[in-house]
Amino acid sequence: MEILLCNSRADAVALTAELIAARLRATPAMVLGLATGRTMEEVYDHLATSGAPFDQCTTFNLDEYVGLPPDHPQSYATYMRQYLFDRVDIDISRTHLPDGMAEDLVAAARDYERRIAAAGGIDLQLLGIGASGHIGFNEPLSAFRSRTRDKILTPTTREQNAGMFGGDPAQVPKRALTMGVGTILDSRELILLACGSAKADVVARAVEGPLTSRISASAIQLHTSCKVILDAEAAAELQDIDYYRFVARNEEKWDPYRQYL
Name the residue nearer to ligand F6R (CB basis): 56 or 156. 156
Q: Is 37 left (phi over 0), alpha (psi -120 to 50) or beta?
A: left
- Closest residue to ligand F6R, Cβ-based? 128
Q: How many CB atoms lie within 10 A of CB 131?
A: 15
Q: Is 124 left (phi over 0), alpha (psi -120 to 50) or beta?
A: beta
Nearest distance from C-beta of residue 243 to ligand F6R, angstroms: 26
Nearest distance from C-beta of residue 126 to ligand F6R, angstroms: 9
- Tell me the sheet residues that pair with 65: 176
Whether 106 contacts 149, CB under 8 Å: yes
Name the residue nearer to ligand F6R (CB basis): 35 or 248. 35
Name the residue nearer to ligand F6R (CB basis): 100 or 136. 136
- Tell me the sheet residues that pair with 228: 3, 192
- Tell me the sheet residues that pair with 191: 126, 227
The residues that touch ligand F6R, with contacts defined as CB under 6 A, are 35-39, 62-63, 128-130, 134-136
Nearest distance from C-beta of residue 242 to ligand F6R, angstroms: 27
Nearest distance from C-beta of residue 128 to ligand F6R, angstroms: 2
Q: How far from 113 is each of 92, 128, 134, 136, CA to CA, in Å?
A: 19, 21, 19, 15
Whether 214 contacts 140, CB under 8 Å: yes
Distance of CA 250 to the CA centre of its chain: 27
Whether 65 contacts 174, CB under 8 Å: no
What is d(CA 126, CA 241) in angstroms, rounded to the nearest whole number?
23
Nearest distance from C-beta of residue 192 to ligand F6R, angstroms: 9
Name the residue nearer to ligand F6R (CB basis): 163 or 256. 163
> Dihedral of the CA atoms 234, 201, 75, 153 (nearest 10)?
170
Nearest distance from C-beta of residue 28 to ligand F6R, angstroms: 24
Name the residue nearer to ligand F6R (CB basis): 96 or 134. 134
Nearest distance from C-beta of residue 7 to ligand F6R, angstroms: 20
Name the residue nearer to ligand F6R (CB basis): 5 or 172. 172
Name the residue nearer to ligand F6R (CB basis): 23 or 199. 199
